[in-house]
Amino acid sequence: MLKAGLIGIGFMGRGHLDIYIQMEKEGYPVELVAICDIDEDKFEGKFLPGNLNVGMADYDFSKYNLYTDIDEMLEKEDLDYVDIALPTYLHAEATVKALNKGLHVLCEKPMALNPQECQAMIDAAEKNDRKLMIGQCLRFWPEYEYLKRCVDSKEYGNVVSAYFFRGGTTPKWSYENWLLTKEKSGGVLLDQHVHDVDMINWLFGTPKKVTTVGRNVFPGSGYDAVSTNYIYDNMVVNAQDDWTINNDDFGFTMTFRVNFEKGTLIYEDGKLTVYPHGGKSFVPELEEGSGYYREIKYFTKAIMDDTPIQVADAYSTKETIRIAKAEEESADRQGEFIEL
């Protein structure tokens, strides 16, 4: 039985908490024993809603050892791994601490604020011979996994063009408003758009160059809307993100349209449809479970079986941050091409 500690139970941490509760019900051999959050109110169930429906209405926190200090939790608990759902500016520091204590680490995306911090995390994992995985959950998301299989197998030929969009209501729920503080989150580019950057990196590898335009709306938040063209030899690739929809009724959406030589995949409104060119469209059968659930299972299984983290390995997720930072530089220079 693996013993886990969860650090941060804000919007995303609660999503993870639900998965531990579900896995326990399923008899999966992982036990969440400790939770740490600096904000004690969270242990009384005082949460702000995010842009997705994560988190149950009520939690029984009495069954966990509760901490408000990360060091104290790492000192007192005998854990196998920690699951870090802290604000991004704390990812590197908390990850390195836990790895140096001999724990494996699953850390939420984005890996960190810059490639240097990512490298420090990788160095600590290697020095301590521990597993490090970043929660780039789209790599475990059934619709995106299906897309990846089509790209790799060339079932519909090569990719001709690809478009990705994600966007949601303005994130106003975060701890001390860190999400709308550029130095802490990297703005929409590093926080939300990074999912599509990571997908493009995973599907197609590093582009030759990027050109990005961005727009700031909220004071001090960095870019709140971005659009990037990724330059590859034979593909037209673009991704956009926008969190300026300042209306809580909207929620969140993510979309892709990928045209292959012999077919098109379209994912929108939560439904993936395949359009073989000249054939009949169909909705493919997909794996069960959310990307969050599947990523936690993958990570814990890799610990139990002592197998390498291959799907979201830390070097690849660091490359995602390098690409995202190049996009930021391009946006800062009004769309100038940045070579990678």
Ligand X SMILES: NC(=O)c1ccc[n+]([C@@H]2O[C@H](COP(=O)([O-])OP(=O)(O)OC[C@H]3O[C@@H](n4cnc5c(N)ncnc54)[C@H](O)[C@@H]3O)[C@@H](O)[C@H]2O)c1
Decide: residue 278, CB within 10 A, 0-12 exposed, 13-18 middle, 19+ buried.
Answer: exposed
CB of 236 to ligand X, least distance (A): 26
d(CA 113, CA 59): 32
d(CA 285, CA 27): 26
CB of 71 to ligand X, least distance (A): 10
CB of 336 to ligand X, least distance (A): 27
Q: Which is nearer to ligand X, 7 or 235 (CB)?
A: 7
Q: Which is nearer to ligand X, 171 or 263 (CB)?
A: 171
Q: Does a cis peptide bond (omega within 30 degrees of 0) precede residue 115?
A: no
Q: Residue 102: how many CB atoms within 10 A of its CB?
A: 12
Q: Which residues contact 70 (CB under 8 A, 6 or more apart)?
A: 7, 36, 94, 97
Give me the residue whose beta carbon is nearest to ligand X.
10
CB of 263 to ligand X, least distance (A): 28
What's the DSSP call for residue 294? Answer: H
Q: Which residues bind ligand X (CB under 6 A)?
A: 7-13, 36-39, 42, 50, 70, 85-88, 90, 108-109, 135, 137, 173-175, 191
Q: Which is nearer to ligand X, 156 or 256 (CB)?
A: 256
Q: Which is nearer to ligand X, 262 or 322 (CB)?
A: 322
d(CA 147, CA 149): 5
d(CA 79, CA 93): 18
CB of 120 to ligand X, least distance (A): 17
> Of 315, 317, 322, nearest to 123 (Cα)?
315
Q: Which is nearer to ligand X, 73 or 235 (CB)?
A: 73
CB of 56 to ligand X, least distance (A): 15
CB of 90 to ligand X, least distance (A): 6
Q: Which is nearer to ligand X, 85 or 162 (CB)?
A: 85
> Which two three-digit tokens encode residue 303?
């610990």
Q: Residue 35: how many CB atoms within 10 A of its CB?
A: 25
CB of 112 to ligand X, least distance (A): 9
What's the DSSP call for residue 58? Answer: -
| Strand ordering across the sheet containing 209-215 | 271-276, 263-268, 252-260, 159-169, 236-245, 225-231, 209-215, 338-339
Q: Which is nearer to ligand X, 104 or 109 (CB)?
A: 109
Q: Which is nearer to ligand X, 137 or 274 (CB)?
A: 137
The number of C-alpha atoms within 13 Å of 194 and in the hemisphere containing its C-beta is 31
Q: Across-strand partners of 201?
A: none
